[in-house]
Copies of this chain bind each other. A is one copy, B any other.
Amino acid sequence: MTPGARRVLAAAGRLFYARGIHAVGVDLIAAEAGVTKKTLYDRFGSKDQLVVEYLADRDERWRAFLADRLQQVEPGSADRVLAVFDASRAWMTDSSPRGCAMINASAEISDPDHPAYPVITGQKTWMLDLFAELVREFHPTGAEELARTLLLLHEGALVAHGLRTFPDPIGHARDQARTLLDRA
């Protein structure tokens, strides 16, 4: 990726997340990146494709962030599940006050044929599979069902975080996940 393209992706990431996808025009992104629209379209082809790369990039960075946190907890431990919630809280606390970028994007993209749609649903099913895998490591029976519950708690916490429904919802979800795991 060229330096200009990198700056475009960085600017798009900031603006799309902070103000929403439809609310941000390509002129603003190009200006914020110190780049002309020509460069933007030469590198990304269309706004839709830029949206795809914005979400894919954010997803990639989140998975790397999470993998780093997970490897600090020994495999087979129930604490690995809690580490996911801890990672989410850390990720959200600094610089993600508006909740999950995938959920927000899906609210703006109604068309299921939009090229960004698989990126969004892909992250969610990946998270579901991750929970199932982590649970299966120490408690194989009923891992699927427990994983679904954990996912609901996690998604709900992200939403409540963005809406500020009550303080520290991700921490609360983590505590509930702990008692769920203790009882399993």
Could you list which residues of chain A lie within 8 angstroms of chain B, going by C-beta atoms?
Answer: 18-20, 22-23, 98-99, 103-110, 120-121, 124-125, 128, 145, 148-149, 151-157, 159-160, 162-166, 169, 172-173, 176, 183
A111: shortest Cβ distance to chain B, in Å?
9
Q: Which residues of B contact A103 (CB under 8 A)?
A: 103, 107, 159, 163
Shortest beta-carbon contacts, A-B, top 3: A156-B156, A152-B156, A107-B107
Copies in the complex: 2
A38: shortest Cβ distance to chain B, in Å?
26
16 contacts between A and B (CB under 8 A): A19-B110, A22-B22, A22-B23, A23-B108, A98-B110, A105-B107, A106-B162, A107-B108, A121-B164, A145-B172, A149-B153, A151-B156, A151-B160, A155-B155, A156-B159, A183-B183
A183 to B169, CA, bound (A): 22
Is chain A's binding surface mostly helix, strand, loop or mixed? helix
8 Å CB contact of A151 from B110, B128, B149, B165: B165
A160 & B166 in contact (Cβ 8 Å cutoff): no
8 Å CB contact of A23 from B110, B151, B165: B110
A15: shortest Cβ distance to chain B, in Å?
10
Residue of A98, A152, A166 with highest tally of chain B CB at under 10 A: A152
Other than the given A106-B162, A152-B156, 17 more pairs (CB < 8 A) read A20-B108, A20-B110, A22-B23, A103-B159, A103-B163, A106-B107, A120-B163, A124-B165, A125-B165, A128-B166, A145-B172, A152-B157, A152-B173, A152-B176, A156-B156, A156-B157, A159-B159
